[in-house]
Chains A and B, each alone.
Chain A
Amino acid sequence: MILIVDDEIFALDLVVRKLTGSGLDFATCSSVPEARAFIESHPDTRIVVTDLHMIGENGYDLLRWLKVIYPRIKRVVVSAHTHEDMSLMKTELELDGVLKKPIDVKSELIPLLIELLKEE
């Protein structure tokens, strides 16, 4: 299971539409608390793809929580930060992937997800 987390509903809608039919098993959450609850009730979650800036708890909170509680779940960030920031972020947060918004779901996100699933 792949979990996509973003508080921007239209961004989620776009990803859902593009991922549908890809063969990937995925779900979406629009907040960090919702994502936590989902992960706790879905032990088959293998990858979490999250935005960073969200109202309330943000993506950083979710990433830190995942690293401590579920270190085996792969973590990918999708953000509108600059490439430089994203590169630094990947190293500092020990992420499995970073993608800069706007992303092309079919040519960027799906290949990354497939690659991460293969690594397991």
Chain B
Amino acid sequence: MFSIHQLLLDLNEYFQGIADQKKLRYVTQYLTPEVNIVRASESDLKPILIRRIHQAFEESINGTVQVTVTYVAPNLLVNIINTESNTTYGDTLFPLEYHAEDQLLEQDMVRKWQMRDIEMSDLLLLVLKSILERINAMEAAYDTGDYDTLKLMVHSAKGLTGSYQMTELYEVFIDFDAHMKSVTFIDDVTADYMEQIKTILSLIPERYL
């Protein structure tokens, strides 16, 4: 069994520099690494009519996303995917399926961040753990009224989450940082920002923590 995550990493690498790359990334934002696919031979792949990648998003129905790939992909997919599951959808779709009934977009947030820059995906997980530790330190600074420390930590977290394209966190830290610069002490608004960040972090599945 191969994980679809690895497959998409392979595809993403293959698509580097060509127009379809953006479409691939767009679709992968909605995938998780838990979906597994099985091996197939090259002959299994030949009869399949492969549609364009954007169809995957367009055909998202009832919580199921069908992933199709462009015509350049089969060579990559040899020995990775079989054709059995396409009977569900007829013979015109490439047979990758993703059942998303219990997968909220928020739960897939980390995967989405990783897919934005594959090269950094391993480091991103370390950054995420570091952010969690920093939140604890920020809370300690908040509790003791240590404005200067909190201000510096928020500024640093803004830069880090931005660098690693952790958008949901970065957007809060932008406002949080601006707020910290607009005041000279810790106030109630500070607590609101801390809560916003903790809410986002609470959506991250435990496997990443």
A residues within 8 Å of B by Cβ? 8, 10-11, 13-14, 17-18, 51, 53, 55, 79-80, 101-103
Q: Are B126 and A10 in contact (CB under 8 A)?
A: yes
Question: CA separation between A53 and B150, bound complex, in Å?
Answer: 13
Is the CB of B92 closer than 8 A to any CB of chain A?
A: no
Extra contacts, 13 of them, besides A8-B156, A101-B163, A102-B164 (Cβ < 8 A), are: A8-B159, A8-B160, A10-B130, A11-B163, A14-B123, A17-B120, A17-B123, A80-B158, A80-B162, A101-B162, A102-B162, A102-B170, A103-B163
Q: Are A14 and B164 in contact (CB under 8 A)?
A: yes
Is the CB of B49 closer than 8 A to any CB of chain A?
A: no
Is the CB of B152 closer than 8 A to any CB of chain A?
A: yes
Please name the residue on chain A nearest to B152 by beta carbon.
A53
Please name the residue on chain B nearest to A51 by beta carbon.
B159
> Chain A contacts of B127 at CB under 8 A?
10
Q: Are B162 and A14 in contact (CB under 8 A)?
A: no
Nearest-CB distance from B132 to chain A (Å)? 13
Question: CA separation between A101 and B163, bound complex, in Å?
Answer: 7
Question: CA separation between A17 and B124, bound complex, in Å?
Answer: 13
Question: CA separation between A11 and B123, bound complex, in Å?
Answer: 10
Listed from nearest, the 5 A-B pairs whose CB atoms lie closest are A102-B162, A80-B159, A101-B159, A102-B163, A10-B127
